[in-house]
Amino acid sequence: MDLREKLNAALKDAMRDKDQRRVGTLRLINAALKDQDIALRAEGRSVGDAEATAILSKMVKQRQESARAYEEAGRLELAEQERAEIEIVEEYLPRKLTEKQVDAAVAAAIAETGASSVRDMGKVMGVLKARHPGQIDFGRVGPMVKERLA
């Protein structure tokens, strides 16, 4: 079962359960995927699972930023709504790697690319992004890769 089928089945279940927050969030996900489908229509293709994962990761990041902004503004109820949406979206993302797994992935990417200096950081990050979409927080991994290459 691909990601879209899982999302559609979950949407139907949420509608049956009358879970309005879940229904709303799943509809937002479907809308984002359809928007990307429309954008890719000119190329004659639709969103694949890897692209859908990237879209979901972006949605999580947006909601994290919104929750932070709401907290700073003292709007805790809105921040809580954003966090609830994050939990729902994350259910459809691949599981995050542990610290040990991230270390191993970074070491493997460095070895594979033959990276020896900070100049090669882009190659290493490219390999990591291709192999582990949605599984690694690249904001945290960047400094780790830089440190190893320095």
Q: For residues 126 and 68, give the distance between their C-alpha atoms in angstroms, rounded to a whole number.
A: 29
Confidence class for position 117, pLDDT limits 50, 70, 90: confident
* Domains, the chain, with CATH or none: 3-90 (1.10.1510.10), 99-149 (1.10.10)
Q: What is the mean pLDDT of the chain?
A: 89
The H or E element that residue 41 is part of is none
- With a threshold of 0.85, does the pTM exceed it? no
In this structure, how many other beta carbons lie within 10 angstroms of the beta carbon of residue 139?
Answer: 8
Report the pLDDT value the prediction gives residue 3, as an integer from 0 to 100. 84
Over residues 2-15, mean pLDDT: 92
Q: What is the mean pLDDT of residues 69-85?
A: 95
In contact, 53 and 93? CB cutoff 8 Å = yes
Which residues does 88 contact at the CB level (< 8 Å), separation at least 6? 21, 22, 25, 26
